[in-house]
Structure 1
Amino acid sequence: MEQRIGSSSQPLEGAGFDPAYIPGLTSPVSGEAESAPEKAEVTTEKAVEERTEERTEEPAEEPVEDEAPDGPVFEASDRRARIVADHQGVRLALDDQSCEFRWDEIGAIETETPRFGRRYTITVHTPDRRWYPIEIEAKSRSSFEEWDEQIDAVLDAYFEDETPQAEEEESEETP
């Protein structure tokens, strides 16, 4: 009878052993891992060479800056949150998270001023019934009226509220 020295069980693979393991995205660690760093170094060197060749062959293009038309802009921020509404659309940011909406992606914008406190809430509603609220803490409650006027000016200038009823009225007027 033969006896083997050491364990005869295979090493564990998957999420039970490696919390970073995601099936389909990463391959399980196996015995071939020792040779993988050499292959990775070769691949990395080739990739770096290809990138440097591409840079030397083609001159870098200048970034095209989008010139803002003369129009109203609403911008409000505090220590954590920020909202900007201009000709491009609405951009929301909270800590390290951000999202951007073009005007054609917006169904409605709702503002809310609290009865007490200094948190001004703006909610962006999309046509697919999702909403994205953000709260901005104002330095004083007197900012609320100014912010309401600014956001109204931006919405009047850029937001096209097309309801089915308004479209029907326009089509009836045109022969």
Structure 2
Amino acid sequence: MEQRIGSSSQPLEGAGFDPAFIPGLTSPVSDEAEEARAEEAGDADADEPTDAAAEPEEAVEEEAPDGPVLEASDRRAKFIADHQGIRLSLDDQACEFRWDEIGAVETETPRFGKRFTITVHTPDRRWYPIEIEAESRARFAEWDEQLDAVMDKYFEDETPETKEEEPEESD
């Protein structure tokens, strides 16, 4: 008679068990991790790819437009909205959304307390909330104004239907 050791059930899949299941929720592999893997493999050419990877990052920083930016953070959470899109991070987890991946952005200020909630909604009906603890409630208005400026500059809410409804000038 054959006897099996261990569980006969298969591992579950999905976002509840694997954060990488949701696209954009986990960050891509960093240059440091790639460099460590290259050293472990013993590649002699490991220095060349890291130098090449560092050059585009510097170029991106130089080409960043002088537009509005919102950076809000506390000891655990961080929210950044700029020309690239929106980036959320909580502890060691991070996700980023380009402007074309965002359906809406919602803010919520509590009646009591100092936790400011920002929720990013995607077109496929998923939402990603993050709470940031402010030093004072006065920061809520400042963050709302900065987020409005960023959204006005980079987020395009026009759909083809609204463009068609605009009246055309005729002589």
TM-score calculated relative to the size of structure 1: 0.67
Structure 2 residues without counterparts, runs of 5 or longer = 12-39
Q: Alignment partner for residue 82 of structure 1, among 78, 85, 96?
A: 78
Q: How do 1:26-105 and structure 2 match up within 5 A?
A: 48=41, 51-52=43-44, 54-55=45-46, 60-61=51-52, 63=54, 64-65=56-57, 66-67=60-61, 68-105=64-101
Please give the secondary structure, in 2, of the residue aligned with 1:168. helix
TM-score (norm 2): 0.68
d(CA) in 2 for partners of 1:133, 1:152: 17
Amino acid at match of 1:108: A
2:151 maps to what in 1? 155
State the identity as a percent: 64
Taking a change above 3 Å as real, the CA distance of residues 62 and 131 of structure 1, as seen in their structure-2 partners, is closer
Question: Distance between the aligned counterparts of 2:165 and 2:130, measured in 1?
Answer: 35
Partner of 1:27: none
Q: Structure 1 residues 150, 12: CA separation in 2 closer, same or farther (over 3 Å shift)?
A: same
Matched with 1:173 is 168
User: Aligned to 2:162, what secondary structure does the other structure show?
Assistant: helix
| Paired amino acid for 1:104 | D
- Aligned partner of 1:124 among 99, 120, 124: 120
CA distance in 1, matches of 2:141, 2:52: 44
Q: Which has the higher contact order (CA 8 A, sep 6+)?
A: 2
Cα offsets for 1:134-161 (capped at 9, x unmatched): 1111110010110110000000111011
Name 1:115's counterpart in structure 2: 111
- In structure 2, the residue corresponding to 1:61 is in which secondary structure? helix
Query: d(CA) in 2 for partners of 1:57 and 1:143?
Result: 45
Per-residue CA deviation, residues 86-142 of structure 1 (Å, 9 max, x unaligned), is: 000000011111110000000000011111111111000000111111111111001
In structure 2, how many angstroms separate the alpha carbons of the residues matched to 1:55 and 1:96? 26
Report the Cα offset of residue 10 of structure 1: 6.2
Q: Which has the larger radius of gyration?
A: 1
Alpha-carbon deviation of 1:11? 7.3
Kindly tell me: are residues 99 and 57 of structure 1, through their superposed partners in 2, closer, same or farther at Cα, counting changes over 3 Å?
closer
| 2-structure distance, mates of 1:82, 1:90 | 11
Letter paired with 1:153:
A
- 1:163, distance to aligned residue in structure 2 (A): 2.7
Q: CA RMSD in A?
A: 3.0
Query: How many residues were matched structurally?
Result: 138
CA distance in 2, matches of 1:59, 1:133: 34
The structural deviation recorded for 1:14 is 5.3
Aligned residue for 2:52, secondary structure, equals: coil
